[in-house]
Amino acid sequence: MKKIITTTEAHAIIQNEDSDFFPVRILNERGQTLVSEFVRKNASEPERINMGTYYSDAEDAAMNSGFGEAIILEIKSINSASGNPETITLDDSCFDWVI
């Protein structure tokens, strides 16, 4: 079972070289809502989009970013309703740390 921890706790675990586990960042409810709304608003065919792919991309980007760094997701121009790339910026409030 996953346990949500604070950012401070996550930082302490990451900095502890003797730790047996590593916390990960997952999209929380707020993050999932923002990503879903972004895709529905901007994708050329939102009903054909696998939302799990966007959630996974956001979580991967969060894990590869520095502390406090913004996460940017993009709908490529070929898949956007406008024909231009569309982006959304997610901040720390969109993610939870879990162990």
List the domain boundaries for the chain.
4-98
Does residue 1 carry a pLDDT above 80? no
- For 17-32, the pLDDT digits (tens) are 888 888 999 999 999 9
pLDDT in the model for residue 66: 83
Classify residue 84 by its DSSP letter.
Answer: S
At residue 41, the 3 state secondary structure works out as helix
The C-alpha atoms of residue 1 and residue 24 are separated, in whole angstroms, by 13
Q: What is the mean pLDDT of residues 57-83?
A: 93
The one-letter code for the residue type at 15 is: Q
pLDDT in the model for residue 11: 87
Confidence of residue 90 (pLDDT cuts 50, 70, 90): very high
